[in-house]
Amino acid sequence: MKGRITVLAVALLAVCMLLPAGLFAGETLDAVKKKGVVTVGVNGGLFGFGQPDETGEWKGLDVDTGRAIATAVFGDPTKVKFVPLTAVQRFTALQSGEIDVLCRNATRTLTRDTQLGLNFVTVNYYDGQAFMVAKKLGVKSAKELSGATVCVLPGTTTEQNAADFFRTNDMKWKPVVIEQTAELAKTFFAGRCDCLTSDASQLAGTRAVAPNPADYIILPEVISKEPLAPAVRHGDDQWRDIVDYAVLAMINAEELGITSANVDEMLKSGNPVIQRFLGVTEGNGAALGLDEKFAYNIVKQVGNYGEVFERNVGVNTPLGLERGLNALWTDGGLMYSPPFK
Amino acid sequence: MTPHPTATPAYPDIKPPVTSIGLIGWIRANLFNSWFNSILTLLVLAGLFKTVPPMVKWAFIDSLWTSTSAECHADGGACWSIITANIRFILFGFYPPDQQWRPLSAMILLVVMLLITRNRRWWHRALAWAWVAALTAMWLLMRGGFIGLQFVESTQWGGMPLTLILAIFGLTAAYPLGVVLALGRQSRMPAIKSLCVIYIELIRGVPLISLLFMSSVIFPLFLPEGITVNKIIRAQAAIILFTAAYIAEVVRGGLQAIPKGQFEAADSLGLNYFQTMRLVVLPQALKIVIPPTVSILISAFKDTSLVVIIALYDILKTTQSTLSNPKWMGFSTEAYIFLAAVYFLCCFFMSNWSRQLEKDLST
């Protein structure tokens, strides 16, 4: 026990001393170009966002975001190395330079943005915590859940959000805490808890594998804001801009109606906005220190935001998610890109 | 000729009653020899009757072996398809699919070497060289990057090869290190002795998980900017350091069991410290501690699965990753039974080998 405390003390001291030193990244872009790949930290076990498929190929919204960044830098979506990280490891991996950018469904918060020495860029998925219940309970709103037993994953903000929600609404609850997502779902479907709480995107995925999905509903209340965004280290603004505009290029392409299918025709478009965006009129690429065709390459090889969304988490996937908050601002969502000029 | 009066009487041999020999006799003597045991037997039989047939039905009769996940969800039996459909990813992780013959042949080579080594008749100096050659060959096969073999980064290694690499390199490196630490702890030189004691007690005082976390989360922050050490090597180092401390304590027990007369005899023959240890003490001490050493090796092998928490894709993590795919979610029982079988095979091989070794060395 004593040895453990000593080790931890030494380790903490070392972390405190070294943290500031870790923040002065050099020119990340140069380092990335020298390595020949962008190293992206991803989840590894979250279907629809970051997970290997049967053949070991990475799939997901965050994974495609990583590919878009690689395409922006190299014009090639395969020049990317995915590093699966746990929730504990993810920020250290970024601080220590093990990865160049973190695309691992990380919620942007004030302390993470400041004290952890990270900069979050444009949100690539707006999530929020919700509740799922069996239809036969007859519950229509989360406000009726007083006294409920709630299945919840430990350790994340999920548990805390649920506690906050029940306290502010002056309701009692009994948490049933289970470590693994798959086991959590099993427990819920076996009827051990009245309701299951998690991010809405995950609830949808869980419901899809229920013995009878139609028996369960996701309640309308969203009790937390979870803007999931890629993150980079403090101290390299050029790299931050590149990552930011790689994400924005996908959103802007959807706004402009450019898809991976029609992007080649769009090159001939007379619209000056599109010409500037696709690099027909030069300037954007040079400003970022990238190839003039970077946006064209992203749309051509990865797709616009809508395509990426539908491919990974959309209604035709097992997750079956509606666009909701993640629709374009013109469709009542929050996805909005500043002009590319 | 009349029979001798004391010869065997004329009545035929009577066999013992059927109730006391053969199967029935055995059952009576062992299962129903008192009312208490009879009740226990009946209860156990009833329990087996209740559980075994449904289990066999689930695992074999109703089971699906090569179906899609949708068919599995519709079927009530075991869905072994989760293993067959994902076997490549579970066994080889991110290794490029068209190159997976390489880790496969590396593993086959390893198994062949292990089987050869099992037989003590083959224990010559040549075998040691063969091991060096085989391990190098495995390394080269996995890594590639020469004569047309595509280079595969170690970050892409996963599944069974990763588990075996962590276990084999971990155990082979930890064993000599542990012996050295044990000798150091017995040393008469105070500096060496206290260093070894501090090391052993410090490492034994923390759980392996915290060492793995240190190696994966804290250690990178110590390194200068831009230098990163491969994640697998960091985890491997943590496993080696951890196991060595435990082996050291086991070996120390063996050293203490050697009678003082052995040391004195070696001294009187004029052997120096290293000769005494190598020729007299260690061969006896290590032989005595084979059983506890093997149990440490077995638990160390199973402990390699803890690398899951630092997101290394060993065979446990690849299986879990498959389970988090909505298509295959809910078949965790089948997946974990498969994993248990894999781990059992490896551990059983080790303990079996150690039993044989004990017999051969007649400890």
The reply to whether B165 falls in a domain is: yes
Residues B284 and B172 in one domain: yes
Measured between CB atoms, which of B153, B155, B329 is closest to A209?
Answer: B329
- pLDDT of A1 above 50: no
Give the pLDDT confidence score for residue A204 in this predicted structure: 83
The reply to whether A336 falls in a domain is: no
Distance from CA of residue A51 to its chain's centroid? Answer: 12
Residues B210 and B236 in one domain: yes
Q: Which long-range contacts (CB under 8 A, 24 or more apart) does A266-273 make?
A: A267/A296, A273/A339, A273/A340, A273/A341
What confidence tier does B7 reach under pLDDT thresholds 50, 70, 90? low
Residues B264 and B302 in one domain: yes
Residues A97 and A232 in one domain: yes
Identify which has the larger pLDDT, B155 or A128. Answer: A128
SS (H, E, C) chain B: CCCCCCCCCCCCCCCCCHHHCHHHHHHHHHCCCCHHHHHHHHHHHHHHHHHHHHHHHHHHHCCECCCCHHHHHHCCCCECHHHHHHHHHHHHCCCCHHHCHHHHHHHHHHHHHHHHHHCHHHCCHHHHHHHHHHHHHHHHHHHCCCCCCCCCCHHHCCHHHHHHHHHHHHHHHHHHHHHHHHHHHHCCCHHHHHHHHHHHHHHHCCCHHHHHHHHHHHHHHHCCCCCCCCHHHHHHHHHHHHHHHHHHHHHHHHHHHCCHHHHHHHHHCCCCHHHHHHHHHHHHHHHHCHHHHHHHHHHHHHHHHHHHHHCCCEHHHHHHHHHCCCCCCCCHHHHHHHHHHHHHHHHHHHHHHHHHHHHHHCC
The reply to whether B350 falls in a domain is: yes
Residues B233 and B325 in one domain: yes
Residues A81 and A151 in one domain: no
- Closest-CA distance of chain B to residue A322, Å: 17
Say if A95 is an interface residue toward chain B (CB within 8 Å): yes
- Stretch among A121-125, A282-286, B58-62 having the lowest mean pLDDT: B58-62
Domain boundary among A224, A257, A281: A224
- pLDDT of A270 above 80: yes
Provide the domain limits for residue A282.
18-126+228-331
- pLDDT of A284 above 80: yes
Residues A219 and A239 in one domain: no
- pLDDT of A18 above 50: no
- Interface residue of A2, A39, A42, A54 to substitute, partner B, most B CBs within 10 Å: A54
Residues A290 and A163 in one domain: no
Residues A167 and A186 in one domain: yes
Q: What is the CATH number of the domain that holds A192?
A: 3.40.190.10
Give the pLDDT confidence score for residue A56 in this predicted structure: 85
Residues A138 and A175 in one domain: yes
Highest mean pLDDT among A83-92, A159-168, B327-336: A159-168
- pLDDT of B82 above 80: yes
- Stretch among A53-67, A87-101, A142-156, B11-25 having the lowest mean pLDDT: B11-25
The reply to whether A242 falls in a domain is: yes
| Section A202-215 average pLDDT | 81
Measured between CB atoms, which of A51, A86, A181 is closest to B311?
Answer: A86
- Stretch among A148-162, A227-241, A309-323 having the lowest mean pLDDT: A148-162
Residues A294 and A239 in one domain: yes
- A181 to chain B: which residues are within 8 Å by CB? 324
pLDDT digits (tens, 9 = 90+) for B99-136: 889 999 999 999 999 888 888 788 888 888 999 999 89
Residues B176 and B308 in one domain: yes
Residues A232 and A220 in one domain: no
The reply to whether B111 falls in a domain is: yes
Residues B127 and B172 in one domain: no
Domain boundary among A177, A200, A224: A224
Give the pLDDT confidence score for residue A25 in this predicted structure: 41
**CA-based radius of gyration for chain A:** 22
Give dist(CA A69, CA A57) in Å, integer.
18
The reply to whether A137 falls in a domain is: yes
Residues B192 and B338 in one domain: yes
Say if B319 is an interface residue toward chain A (CB within 8 Å): no
Provide the domain limits for residue B121.
99-151
Interface touch B97/A45, C-beta < 8 Å:
no
- pLDDT of A16 above 70: no
Give the pLDDT confidence score for residue B75 in this predicted structure: 78
Residues B227 and B349 in one domain: yes
The two three-digit tokens of residue B324, written as one number: 């988090």
Say if A316 is an interface residue toward chain B (CB within 8 Å): no
Residues A66 and A164 in one domain: no
Measured between CB atoms, which of B221, B223, B327 is closest to A318?
Answer: B327
Residues B252 and B295 in one domain: yes
- pLDDT of A20 above 50: no
| Section B276-281 average pLDDT | 92
The reply to whether A232 falls in a domain is: yes
Give the pLDDT confidence score for residue B8 in this predicted structure: 61
- A208 to chain B: which residues are within 8 Å by CB? 326
| Section A3-26 average pLDDT | 46
User: Half-sphere exposure (CA, 13 Å, Cβ side) for B233?
Assistant: 7
pLDDT digits (tens, 9 = 90+) for B189-217: 999 999 999 999 999 999 999 999 888 88
The reply to whether A48 falls in a domain is: yes
- pLDDT of A319 above 50: yes
Count of other CB atoms within 10 angstroms of residue A83? 21
The rounded mean pLDDT for chain A is: 88
Chain B residue with CA closest to A16: the answer is B221
Give the pLDDT confidence score for residue A13 in this predicted structure: 46
- A88 to chain B: which residues are within 8 Å by CB? 213, 217, 309
Give the pLDDT confidence score for residue B345 in this predicted structure: 94
Q: What is the CATH number of the domain that holds B78?
A: 1.10.3720.10
pTM: 0.82
Domain boundary among A200, A224, A248: A224
Identify which has the larger pLDDT, A182 or A124. Answer: A124
The rounded mean pLDDT for chain B is: 88
Residues A100 and A247 in one domain: yes
The rounded percent of chain A whose pLDDT value lies above 70 is 92
The reply to whether B104 falls in a domain is: yes
- pLDDT of A7 above 90: no
Beta bridge partners of B18: none
Give dist(CA A277, CA A270) in Å, integer.
12
The reply to whether B317 falls in a domain is: yes
What confidence tier does A19 reach under pLDDT thresholds 50, 70, 90? very low
Residues A85, A104: contact at Cβ < 8 Å? yes
| Section A8-22 average pLDDT | 46
The reply to whether A49 falls in a domain is: yes
Q: What's the structural domain count of chain A?
A: 2
The reply to whether B180 falls in a domain is: yes
pLDDT digits (tens, 9 = 90+) for B299-341: 999 999 999 888 889 999 999 888 888 788 778 889 999 999 9
Residues 6+ apart with CB under 8 A from B175: B244, B247, B293
Residues A120 and A247 in one domain: yes
Residues 6+ apart with CB under 8 A from B340: none
Say if A176 is an interface residue toward chain B (CB within 8 Å): no
Give the pLDDT confidence score for residue B5 in this predicted structure: 58
The reply to whether A340 falls in a domain is: no
What confidence tier does A21 reach under pLDDT thresholds 50, 70, 90? very low
The two three-digit tokens of residue B332, written as one number: 């965790």
Give dist(CA B216, CA B238) in Å, integer.
9
Give the pLDDT confidence score for residue B229 in this predicted structure: 81
Q: What's the structural domain count of chain B?
A: 2
What confidence tier does A17 reach under pLDDT thresholds 50, 70, 90? very low
Q: What is the residue type of B261?
A: G
Give the pLDDT confidence score for residue A24 in this predicted structure: 43
Give the pLDDT confidence score for residue B71 in this predicted structure: 84
Say if A53 is an interface residue toward chain B (CB within 8 Å): yes
The reply to whether A6 falls in a domain is: no
Question: What is the value of ipTM here, to two decimals?
Answer: 0.78
Interface touch B86/A21, C-beta < 8 Å:
no
Residue owning tokens 């260093």: B195
The reply to whether B229 falls in a domain is: yes
- pLDDT of B1 above 70: no
Measured between CB atoms, which of A4, A84, A211 is closest to B206?
Answer: A4
| Section A112-119 average pLDDT | 91
Interface of B with A in 185-204 (CB under 8 A): 201-204
